[in-house]
Each structure stands twice: as structure tokens, then as C-alpha cells.
Amino acid sequence: MPFITADDGAEIFYKDWGIGGSPVILSHGWPLNSDAWDAGTRFLAEHGHRAIAHDRRGHGRSSQTWNGNEMDTYADDLACLIDTLDLHDLTLVGHSTGGGEIVHYLGRHGSSRVSRLVLVAAVPPLMLRTDDNPQGLPIEVFDEIRAGEAADRSQLYRNLADGPFFGHNRTQDVGQGFRDAFWLQSMACGHRAAYECIAAFSATDFRPDLDKVDVPTLVIHGDDDQIVPFGVGGKRAAEMIGGAVLKVYEGSGHALPDTNRDRLHADLLEFIDA
């Protein structure tokens, strides 16, 4: 299996599919891994692109490091992957926490290798409610997730899969296979990594990173997202990024790469090929 070695020696697993074409990196959400993007990776590879997806450190097949489970290191690991593969004219696509990772990469490493950015139900600009971010969610929301992760992580993931992640508790009738895959990927994430990543996706302030985005950007968000509410995430991110294109999936929840697969793939391809 292909791995790159991060600066601290961590092994980062990645998939590299397709022959030729401009490269696309797809970054997954918490607490999943690159398998979450398999359908999108295959679709883009079959439509002429080099499609790459990696397991964030602590997740999936990558090293379960004790330290480094925060956004600075995630972004630097992504930079290591991009530099090692010597990618240029790159499209970065991030779902949920992955949206934070790719935006933070731009904030720390610039856009010299990047041509386009796509945020899908992504966590920027800032999920946590603070004095200067009253639109955010109260810390008790994330404390409850932390408590579930610490006490019975397997049950937490079952509850998320059967409820708000897919919107299965509302309008979305999501098959058991999708929900089982979510649980399986989540259980492959390291316990410490999953716990610490809750702070990484909720409390990292991506607003300074969004100010530095200088490439064409597509923001896609469901207006019934129970994990990253539209008014907390996509709506505000699109307002902060100059010239960003916002596509709202009416009635859709958080797990767009699964629940809205065909529409999302078409929108990605149209934007990347434009």
C-alpha cells in the first residue's frame, strides 16, 4: 500500500487512482478515512483526472500518533503529500473536517500548487460559539460528542449513523450499508485521534485561512445539515471567500458524498473542468 512519511515519521496512507489529467485531492470527514470518498475518487478517475485520497493521521491505515491530532499538523501532512507527489494545477476537495484541513493548508502553505477549492458540508469558518462568533454552536454540543467518544465510542458512531450524520432521523432514508460503512470506518480511527479531532474541527478558527483563499472556490452545503448547520458553515464560508460559488442542496443533510452522490459528482466535474 502507498504511504508517504510526514516530518515526524508518521506514515500517511493514500490512494492514487487514474492516469493523467489534472490532480484532485479529496479530504475526508471525522472520524472516517479515504474510503468515504471511494465513489467520488473512482468517478473523477474515470472522467480523466488523477484522483487522490488520503487517511488523515490517526484515521484508517495511517499512523495513530499520540501527538499531532490538530489542524496545523493535518495541514502540514497534506503539504507533505502534495510535495512528495509533486502535484500542480491541483483541486482540493474537502468534506466536513476535510474542508477545514484543505483551507488550513492554504492558510499555512499558500496556493502556488492549487488551482481550485471545493468545500462540501465543511466546518469553516468556525463551528464553536464564541464572543466574536455568536452564530456558532455552544460548547456543550461538542462536550457531548467527547463524552460519547470517551464512554462508548462504538455506540456514539451507531447513533450518529442512524441519526444526524446522514439525516436518517429526518427526511433521508439511508440504506443500512451506508450506515454500517460509517461505523466501520469510525472504529478504524484511533481512540485518542478521534477524541482530539473533535476539538480540531470544532474550535479551530478558520477565518484567517478563508481570508487567504485566492483561487476559484465552490461551496456546497445542504440546508438541513444537522452536523454543520448551513448558517454556521457553508453560508458564512461563501460570504467570506471572494467570488465563491455557493450551491445549496435543499432538504439535504451532512453526508452529501453518499446521500447526494450523483449530483455532487456532476457538480465537482463541472467545476473542475470549467
What does the alpha-carbon distance between residue 204 and residue 187 come to, in Å, rounded to a whole number? 24
Q: Supply angle C-alpha 18, 256, 185, rounded to 5.
A: 70
| 3-class DSSP state of 167 | coil
Beta bridge partners of 218: 118, 245
Residues designated catalytic: 96, 225, 254
Question: What span, in angstroms and rounded, lies between the C-alpha atoms of 181 and 206?
Answer: 29
Nearest residue to 23 via CA among 48, 50, 46 = 50
Amino acid at 259: T
Tell me how far apart the alpha carbons of residues 201 and 62 are, in angstroms, rounded to a whole number. 19
C-alpha span between 145 and 96 (Å, rounded):
16
H or E segment and range at residue 155: helix 139-162
